[in-house]
């Protein structure tokens, strides 16, 4: 199926409630970078927190690669900034900082195998068991970013170790795949109506100022979202695909 058709079908996926999506139980979001959780599932986080449902976020990498030439924000300072942005965004959505864990793997170097991969799988698996989570959300494995693909592989491995946990994937950079490329399979999943949480989500996204604004001015090669790249995350729905094991 062409990407254009795949995404068209995605936007028409059946609506699901938060309760049905998560079984009303604790759930975990695995985020490749410090902002993907807000972009992909900020509305779900807000809904769950408003309902008193436990949400846990695991951030896989440190996010230090977004502005590699900045003198004002060398890697250590940038990592601290991005962690602060995750906290600020989470608090806007109602998520207490104690429910966010950082694995601090190097940005763009999340592993697909080896000791670091195994350690990340154990960390996610242990948290699933500690929290009694019934659902695990992770970035779509078709997202054209190495860390997003690694996160998907880590989540799938953790899911194998926790077969009672439902796996879901949320697209981030998959929204910007070449429209004429081919995507295997057919999109199976759901839409979550977040119209009531949309303003909160917009505020939470803005809290990631290093990625959304000119806060870091001394690296012309640094990353920043544009209106086009941000647009898929500003609407009244969030989208998840079923992940087969």
Transcribe 169-204 into DSSP letters: EE-SGGGGS-TTSB--S---EEEEE-GGGHHHHHHH
Domain coverage including residue 186? 3-242
Segment 84-94 shows an average pLDDT of 99
Number of separate domains in the chain: 1
Q: Is the backbone of residue 217 left (phi > 0), alpha (psi -120 to 50) or beta?
A: alpha
Query: Beta strand 55-61 with 135-139: parallel, antiparallel or unpaired?
Result: unpaired
pTM (two decimals): 0.98
Q: Is 74 helix (H, G, I), strand (E, B) or coil?
A: coil
Segment 130-144 shows an average pLDDT of 98
Q: How far apart are CA 133 and CA 21, in angstroms?
A: 12
Where does the pLDDT of residue 225 fall: very low under 50, low under 70, confident under 90, or very high at 90 and above?
very high
Where does the pLDDT of residue 85 fall: very low under 50, low under 70, confident under 90, or very high at 90 and above?
very high
Segment 131-137 shows an average pLDDT of 98
Segment 220-227 shows an average pLDDT of 96
| Residue 245 in this model has a pLDDT that exceeds 90 | no
pLDDT tens profile 50-59: 999 999 999 9
Nearest to 169 by CA among 182, 181, 155: 155
pLDDT tens profile 45-79: 999 999 999 999 999 999 999 999 999 999 999 99
CATH number (domain holding residue 44): 3.40.50.10320
């Amino acid at each position: 199926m062409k990407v254009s058709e795949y995404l068209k079908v995605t936007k028409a996926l059946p609506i699901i409630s938060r309760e049905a999506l998560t079984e009303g139980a604790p759930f975990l979001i695995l985020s490749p970078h410090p902002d993907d959780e807000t972009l992909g599932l900020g509305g779900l986080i807000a809904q769950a927190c408003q309902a008193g449902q436990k949400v846990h976020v695991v951030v896989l990498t440190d996010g230090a690669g977004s502005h590699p030439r900045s003198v004002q924000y060398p890697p250590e300072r940038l990592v601290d900034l991005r962690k602060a942005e995750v906290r600020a965004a989470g608090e806007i959505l109602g998520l207490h900082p104690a429910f966010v864990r950082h694995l601090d793997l190097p940005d763009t170097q999340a592993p697909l195998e080896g000791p670091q991969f195994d350690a990340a799988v154990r960390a996610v698996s242990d948290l699933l068991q500690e929290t009694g989570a019934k659902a695990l959300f992770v970035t779509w494995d078709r997202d054209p970013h190495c860390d997003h693909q690694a996160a998907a592989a880590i989540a799938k491995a953790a899911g194998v170790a926790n077969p009672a946990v439902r796996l879901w994937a949320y697209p981030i950079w998959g929204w910007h795949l070449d429209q004429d490329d081919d995507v295997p399979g057919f999109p199976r999943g759901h839409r979550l109506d977040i119209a009531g949480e949309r303003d909160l989500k917009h505020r939470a996204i803005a809290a990631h100022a290093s990625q959304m604004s000119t806060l870091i001015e001394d690296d012309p090669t640094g990353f920043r979202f544009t209106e086009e790249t941000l647009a898929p995350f500003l609407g009244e729905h969030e989208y998840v695909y079923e992940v087969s094991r």
